Amino acid sequence: MLNRPGAEALFRALCLVALTIPLAMLLVLLFHTFSEAYPRISWEFIIGYPSRKPALAGLLPALAGSFYLMILTGLMALPIGLAAALYLEEYAAPSALTRIIEVNINNLAGVPSIIYGLLGLELFVRAMSLERSLVAGAATLALLVLPMVIITSREALRSVPFSYREAALALGAEKWRTLLRVVLPMSLPGILTGLILAMARAIGETAPLITIGALTYIAFLPDSLQSPFTALPLQIFNWVSRPQAEFQVNAAAGIVVLVVLLMALNGLAIWLRARLQRRVYW
Amino acid sequence: MIPHSPEGLRTKPTFLERFMKGMLASCAGLSILTTAGIVVVLVYESVALLQEVPFWRFLADTQWTPLFAEKHFGIWPLVCGTFLTTAIALFVAVPLGLLAATFLSEFAAERSRRIVKPVMELLAGIPTIVYGYFALTFVTPVLQNVIPGLASFNALSPGIVMGIMIFPIIASLSEDSLYAVPASLREAALALGASRLATVLRVVIPTAFSGVTAAVVLGFSRAIGETMIVAIAAGQQPRFTLDPRVPIETMTAYIVQVSLGDTPTGTLEYRTIFAVGLLLFLFTLAMNLVGIRLRRQIVPGTL
Amino acid sequence: MRAGPLTATVMLCGCTAACLTWSSTAPRVQIDGSSTVYPIMEAVAEEFGKVQREVQITVGISGTGGGFKKFCSGEVDITDASRPIKPVEIKACAANDIAYIELPVAFDGLSVVVSPLNSWAYEITVEELKRMWEPPAQNTITRWNQIRPSWPDQPLNLFGAGVDSGTYDYFTAAIVGEEHSSRGDYTSSEDDNVVVQGIMNDENAIGFLGFAYYDQNRNKLRALAVDDQLADNGQGAVLPSPETVRNGTYQPLSRPLFVYVRDQSLQRPEVHDFVHFILTRAGPLVAEVGYIPFPDPLYQLVWERVASRRTGTLFEHGSQVGVSLEALFHEEREGTR
């Protein structure tokens, strides 16, 4: 039966349908959201403050919170992640310990985000008494994206040809100097791309932030590391939870802003990689 | 990796060298600390809970009402809720993912592959709260027109949407392993007179079996740990049932429910979220290790 | 390697991070507590923010119980409650030296609601509600006709407030007869919005929530008239409405909503101004969000409690079902309490 002439065409068509169904659902999702959101998207919405009246409610504290969170998370995750990647790629000899660390990192990448929220709750909010502050949120998210940063940085370091390292050594440079002056600059595009993608992931995370304690009403911009905060996905979640239809419109509008921001970040990553890669070929 | 300098030329590394190596090593060690931290935190609170509630009560009961006056601690309702939504998600994602992967690897032109792969990555990058919103405001109302008696919170709607969410994982990883099947095997089958379809179904897919299994396992793990879609659309009623039309509660949604009430440290309620978290962690850990192991079998050197 | 865009980005990040100090000195009012009272507090905070822009106000919805836990450990200045403070909470506050001033701010007619798709239930008695919600009902009362034989043999889907909620405490006290005692197999949430969402499209659903959540969603919910089977407030079943709550005929589910303020916090001007704002602007705002405001003289009486820093509660023995607030204040002033 499998050798019949029509069977292959049928199977091929079936596979094509299987491929297009989820993509079609994605289009439906985007179309549904954008059309729901259309009445609310405006400049006032983006720079406004929350309100009990859906038509007046705005996104500014959530945007500010997400922005600060993203930067703080990046600042915390990059040095540690890059250092770990450097060690694993350049210094560590293959051994049982190294194996364990690598398996561990891969496992951490697959741990559900809410578990990181529980870790953040117990460690940062309660044990270190940071309360539900910007710095506690950023630290939790930094732990969440750390495996991703390590893995992408390692790939970037791996992409630098071996010959460059040997050439530097042959010229008398020490290991650390070689890394700093030769390997890192060459792998920088990949590292930065990985970092930006990690920050994009951090911006979209809701569960860990809810677990460390999310507030419902914040009408001011965070002005300190210990400030209470809200974030874009938290605000969307808050609006989705309200049964009034107008708040669902707000939620859709918030989603549109979030998706646009993510596309911008992804675009930035791609642009940065293309731009810097061109300059490094000396 | 940079090789060590040969004998005779070896000099003692400078202080800077040793210092930097130490710093970098400790950063790598931080990842171990993270896992240790997760385990310690989850186990610590769970042990504290076990001191108040004996272990058999978690297994012997089919009701989960730890917050109410009449306390039941059976974990089965939450586990059941998680597995029900996950099963629906896999039911959607595995056939679609596998067939899509077959198309991309065996039938598609190179140009289509180059367009479709980034689009799938786009699907994978959408924040889960967007999927949750979609499940509640679009999928549930549509399904309510088709299935009479479907409650506003149910397992079917988030299950289907989760299926869409894990579809890229399954499709992408399956496609990698299908692609990795050597051309010689395909050519041998064709040389023996098999049609292309027979080759795909009888030779390529079975060869890539462990890779496909790895993809399914990783997708399974992702679905188990999913929080926002079920928190928004599945409900908050722990129920020991396999009926996808009624409100249920998953392990992750329970943690969110209690966290929204912001319980203080040291109370019974606080400890229950860590106990549930521990269970969740063990499930996903087991799945992840199996998945990593399977992937190493098909593509050595990959992690 | 030329740095241009790279250094620009890094400098931008650095500057933004530097804008954040370690801890803030801005005046702050921290509020938490009941999800039932939340709409009132949200409206007040929003209007207050228009008048005093520099004050940072945060409002959480941990539930009445959760709010009290934070309040008695000194984490928040104000807690919202849809029931009076309980003895165990009074003790906790005393243990941490937290003196509180109890401020009733509105009336609520706790509503029993069903979906508009429900074609059989329009009124219900207290006795039927009790049989529906008491602990023995867990896993045994699961169909509508078990409550009233004339109702259809269809599944009973229950929704309601969670255990940290004052609404839960009050409902169980008034209906089951014992506070905090109910069946556990229903969809419970600290957030009344979840109750609305669960009920609105399900003809077999029934639940209870604060009146404002019903009032703001009249096109999605139908309130049942409640019959308390007592003769002293008129015969028959009574629908919740501002009138029936005010004249005391919607029983036993009429209740006051409270705000508790920490005495020490009142010394900070921003908290003092905020509380004054609540009591002077409460009338229209409470009505706007859907609850039942007091008559103005009563708000005056409440402000006097604040002004004279009268701490402690009028409800030491729990919710007083059916007693008027004016009477309680009067007795307090006369010193007969």
Sheet-wide strand order for C28-33: A217-218, C56-59, C28-33, C78-81, C254-262, C100-109
How many angstroms away from the CA of C205 is the closest CA of chain A? 16
Q: Are residues C71 and C193 in the same domain?
A: no
Q: Are residues C115 and C241 in the same domain?
A: yes
Average pLDDT (B249-264) is: 85
Q: Which pLDDT band holds residue C1 (cuts at 50, 70, 90)?
A: very low
Q: How many CB pairs under 8 A join A and C?
A: 91
Average pLDDT (A189-212) is: 90
How far is Cα A87 from Cα A93, in angstroms, rounded to an integer?
A: 10
Candidate from C5, C19, C46 with C-beta closest to A219: C46
Residue A66, pLDDT score? 93
> Structure tokens of A255?
């989603």
Flag whether pLDDT at C5 surpasses 70: no
Q: Which residue of B has its CA nearest to C168?
A: B68
pLDDT digits (tens, 9 = 90+) for C62-73: 888 888 988 998
Compute the radius of gyration of chain A from its Cα atoms: 23
Residue with tokens 């951090």: A202
Q: Using alpha carbons, select from A190, A184, A182 the residue that is nearest to residue A156.
A: A190
Flag whether pLDDT at A282 surpasses 50: no
How far is Cα B220 from Cα B210, in angstroms, rounded to an integer?
A: 15
- First vs last C-alpha separation in chain C: 81
> Structure tokens of C260?
């508790």
Q: Which element (helix H / strand E) includes C187?
A: strand C187-189
Residues of chain C contacting residue B262, judged by C-beta atoms under 8 Å apart: 32, 60, 62, 66, 70
String of DSSP letters for B43-102: HHHHHHHHHHS-THHHHS-S-B-TTSSS--B-SHHHHHHHHHHHHHHHHHHHHHHHHHHH
String of DSSP letters for A49-69: ---SSGGG---HHHHHHHHHH
Q: Using alpha carbons, select from A77, A79, A97 the residue that is nearest to residue A88.
A: A97
ipTM: 0.88
Mean residue pLDDT across chain A: 87
How many angstroms away from the CA of B204 is the closest CA of chain C? 46
Q: Are residues C323 and C241 in the same domain?
A: no
Could B28 and A206 be called an inter-chain contact, meaning their C-beta atoms sit closer than 8 Å? no
C101 inside domain: yes
Which of C246, C274, C304 marks a domain boundary? C246
Q: Are residues C318 and C265 in the same domain?
A: yes
Which of C191, C223, C246 marks a domain boundary? C246
pLDDT digits (tens, 9 = 90+) for A232-259: 999 999 888 887 888 889 999 999 999 9
What is the domain extent for residue A228? 47-214+221-280
**A14-23, B28-37, C176-185 — which is least confidently predicted?**
C176-185
How many angstroms away from the CA of A27 is the closest CA of chain C? 26
Q: Are residues C120 and C239 in the same domain?
A: yes
Q: Name residue B286's amino acid.
A: A
Could A217 and C58 be called an inter-chain contact, meaning their C-beta atoms sit closer than 8 Å? yes
Determine contact: C3 vs chain A, CB below 8 A: no
Write the CB contacts of B261 (distance below 8 Å, at least 6 apart in sequence).
B269, C62, C63, C66, C162, C164, C190
C233 inside domain: yes
DSSP state of C217: T
How many angstroms away from the CA of A95 is the closest CA of chain B? 14
Q: Are residues C133 and C239 in the same domain?
A: yes
Candidate from A192, A215, A227 with C-beta closest to C59: A215
Give C143's strand partners.
C155
Determine contact: A67 vs chain C, CB below 8 A: yes
How far is Cα C78 from Cα C270, in angstroms, rounded to an integer?
A: 12
Q: Which of C118, C188, C195 to mutate to test the interface with B (most CBs of B within 10 A)?
A: C188
Residue with tokens 């992690």: B303
Residue A279, pLDDT score? 58
Are A136 and A130 in contact by the 8 Å Cβ rule? The answer is: yes
Q: Name residue C246's amino acid.
A: R
Q: Using alpha carbons, select from A60, A229, A261, A70 the residue that is nearest to residue B125.
A: A261
Candidate from B21, B30, B100 with C-beta closest to A18: B100
C11 inside domain: no
Q: Please provide the size of chain C in residues.
A: 337
Q: Are residues C150 and C235 in the same domain?
A: yes
How far is Cα A252 from Cα C166, in angstroms, rounded to an integer?
A: 32
% of residues, chain B, pLDDT over 90: 40
> Structure tokens of B42?
């989850």
Q: Which element (helix H / strand E) includes C79?
A: strand C78-81
Compute the radius of gyration of chain B from its Cα atoms: 24
Cis? peptide before C252, omega within 30° of 0: yes
How far is Cα C137 from Cα C188, in angstroms, rounded to an integer?
A: 16
- Measured at the CA of A33, the angle between CA A28 and CA A36, to 5 degrees, comes to 120
- Give the domains, in start order, of chain B with CATH numbers: 76-298 (1.10.3720.10)
CB-count exposure of residue B179 (10 Å: 0-12, 13-18, 19+): middle
pLDDT digits (tens, 9 = 90+) for B94-118: 999 999 999 988 888 888 888 888 8
Mean residue pLDDT across chain B: 86
- Measured at the CA of C321, the angle between CA C318 and CA C323, to 5 degrees, comes to 105
Give C102's strand partners.
C260
DSSP state of A181: I
- 3-state DSSP assignment of residue B147: coil
How far is Cα A197 from Cα B222, in angstroms, rounded to an integer?
A: 19
Candidate from A68, A217, A280 with C-beta closest to C20: A68
Residue A136, pLDDT score? 92
Count of structural domains within chain C: 2
**A212-226, B87-101, C49-63, C265-279 — which is least confidently predicted?**
A212-226
A166 inside domain: yes
Could C184 and B67 be called an inter-chain contact, meaning their C-beta atoms sit closer than 8 Å? yes
Residue B170, pLDDT score? 92
Which of C223, C246, C269 marks a domain boundary? C246
The subunits that touch chain B, with at least 3 C-beta pairs less than 8 Å apart, are A, C
Count of structural domains within chain A: 1
Q: Are strands C56-59 and A217-218 parallel, antiparallel or unpaired?
A: antiparallel
Flag whether pLDDT at C165 surpasses 70: yes
Flag whether pLDDT at B303 surpasses 50: no
Q: Which residue of A has its CA nearest to C213?
A: A243
Q: Are strands C123-125 and C100-109 parallel, antiparallel or unpaired?
A: unpaired
pLDDT digits (tens, 9 = 90+) for B11-55: 667 788 888 888 888 888 888 899 999 999 999 999 999 998 888
A13 inside domain: no
Please identify among residues 134-163 of chain C the ones whose CB lies closer than 8 Å to any CB of chain A: none
Q: Are residues C129 and C226 in the same domain?
A: yes
Q: Give the CATH number of the domain where residue C220 resides.
A: 3.40.190.10
Could B134 and A29 be called an inter-chain contact, meaning their C-beta atoms sit closer than 8 Å? yes
A130 inside domain: yes
Are C27 and C55 in contact by the 8 Å Cβ rule? The answer is: yes
> Structure tokens of A223?
């002005």
Residue A268, pLDDT score? 86
Residues of chain C contacting residue A50, judged by C-beta atoms under 8 Å apart: 46
Q: Give the CATH number of the domain where residue A255 resides.
A: 1.10.3720.10
How far is Cα A53 from Cα A41, in angstroms, rounded to an integer?
A: 15
Candidate from C2, C26, C289 with C-beta closest to A279: C2
Q: Are residues C125 and C241 in the same domain?
A: yes
What is the domain extent for residue C269? 27-107+255-334
Q: Are residues C213 and C290 in the same domain?
A: no
pTM reported for the whole predicted model: 0.88
Determine contact: C189 vs chain B, CB below 8 A: yes
C22 inside domain: no
How far is Cα C244 from Cα C109, in angstroms, rounded to an integer?
A: 9
Q: Which pLDDT band holds residue A40 (cuts at 50, 70, 90)?
A: confident
C96 inside domain: yes
